Structure 1
Amino acid sequence: MLALAGYPLGLRFRFLDRVAEAPAGQLAELLQGDYADEAVLGRFAEGLELITYEFENVPVGAAKWLAERRPVYPPPVALEVAQDRLAEKTFFQGLGIPTPLFYPVLTQNDLLDGLERTGFPAILKTRRLGYDGKGQKLLHSSNDLETAWLQLGGQPLILEAFVPFERELSILAVRSRSGQVAFYPLVENHHAGGILRKSLAPAPATPARLQHEAEHLALRVMEKLDYVGVLAIELFEVEGTLWANEMAPRVHNSGHWTIEGAETSQFENHLRAVLGLPLGSTAARGHSAMLNLIGQRPNTALVLEIPGAHLHWYGKAVRPGRKVGHITLRTAAPDALEVGLKQLEAVLAETPAAAPLTD
């Protein structure tokens, strides 16, 4: 999607991925190799003007190695903060940004000590890796401790108090090499099984005060990190205030709606930012919804029959739980969006999911 946004700007691309079948290879040169292999990194960097990434689990060491040879945006320090949930929460609190109560866990005694502070329910998470609900366990009572420790123990963990939030939101911000900043409207996100299923933009019934709070919060993060590129911060709305959950130093799934739903997509603005070009307008073009396609491929004709619907297929093999595409729905009025969403959800309900893998 970055490449598709960059070609109209006259840009050329080279991709590095650990997987030879990565979808980016359909659009430009794809170099397959390990992110930690300096020989591979050297071949990748040769002839490039600058380097960016769209995956927050890129090894920090690889990003720093490349940054000694080519400009790398967002800066590697953003990866360092975002890759460790303890460092991330500590970073937020250092900027005066509210977060759930948290406690570092290395041993079972640490877990018990932490639960004395957080109480039940609480969430035990790995500090590194894990996404789309992986690497975490919800603890309802002491009966859940043994199973959670068997699954997650033996590595650095973080215990977080469960937050009784009203809804999950995200703010997408962008900052250019010149220091210009722009913010997209707040997005309302709906998850199931730890995976983002639907985003609504702009987030319905959101007062201007909350948008300003989110922008100010994101600005503090970007200025502290001397950030360049698109940054997503996932938020909880709690009694009319915003608490930070986590951040993603990259273009983000909750911003895919911007391809059709904003004056300038997050992908184009990310490229403008890292190149030092003027940022484009982030204004919403009506009302949008984004539905992830997870482990299923709907009938293209049925999707495109729905007014305002746009299908994005990623060229991935369909597997259970895998994001293989998304649908954006854009309408002029919120009532039309609601009607279109019901039609799309009916199409998806009739689409068979990928069969579970068997031995």
Structure 2
Amino acid sequence: MSYLFPNYARKDIEFMKGSKNTLTDQAGQSYLDFTSGIGVMNLGYEVPELNEILAEQAKLLWHTPNLYENHLQEEVAEKLANGKDYISYFCNSGAEANEAAIKLARKATGRTKIITFTNSFHGRTYGAMSATGQSGIQESFQPLVPDFVYLPYNDIPSLEQALDMQTAAVMLELIQGEGGVIPADEEWIQKIVELCKNTRTLLIIDEIQTGIGRTGTLYAYETYQIEPDIFTLAKGLGNGIPVGAMLGKKALAEAFNPGSHGSTFGGNKLAMSVANKVVEQVNQSIFLQDVQEKSKQLFAGLEKLAEKSKKIQAVRGKGLMIGLELSDPETLNQIVNDLQINGLLVLKAGKTVLRLLPPLTITPTEIDCGLQILEKVFIEGEK
């Protein structure tokens, strides 16, 4: 018997240790990790610098409430602002960061309507779930938080019709992760920015999965040459330590006055010590350029594979966030299992997409190894 709720469909393996970009299970079998713990372990496993920093802080102090100054929060917030006029609120997860963004947008504008998009994913707490444009996730949890409007992704006409002076915010992922690794069109994003400016609507970018170097820049919004009013982070920010952040323009500071929002554990010293080092390591031009080069290598290999295999309909994504659209949805689970048997861990996104999220520290040799396993499963399975 298990003493756990059955809300996760768990595989019958347990990982006992990790080293760099590989995991080892309870039977001693090793796997090349193309999941990063769902986009969390951007710097891989057993990182000496992070281990040392966490141990040093643990000897000093684990936790103080946000009733007192916290110099580590200030340091991380400055690094996350990255030279722009953003200020930070720290929490424990992506869902919490998105909850904070929703509250801030409504309080700052005095409006309640928030536009999000079909197949989006923003979390499973009530506000974040209400923002999520997937009926399957919302099923059985009605009534939801009101005044969320769901529009087709990458569709300008519906946006022009729905975005008005009653809209508090437009909230979106620049690459829909759980929705199938679907990048936003440049023209569509520019139209959103224009309409938001004309209606004094806030733009919220959910960077939970795309942020902290995943797409080859510190934030995905940089590649679209925009600056959102609010954006959210988590996953890769702590490299496995639970931490989230909501950043907003300094002009929004008055809306989050004392008592308006808070978190007991958010921004605790253990999480901040690690996040401080993670952002420092990732936000370097050499590191990010390396991610972009490895992205080119992986995309090139996957596109060659798609030419050989009838099972792959499309390859899409950005940086090291990649989706393989399968021709037959019925093959998805089997392919994921076959890859695992051959020593490669991958993810699903929606019902038809194989999702690849390798650590940003993946090596060119390991990329080639992963491509060889993918080819073995896709090509040999067709013979």
Into which bin does the TM-score normalised by the smaller protein fall?
Answer: 0.3 to 0.5
TM-score (norm 1): 0.33
TM-score (norm 2): 0.31
Instruction: Report which of the two has the higher share of helix.
Output: 2
Instruction: Report which of the two has the higher share of strand.
Output: 1
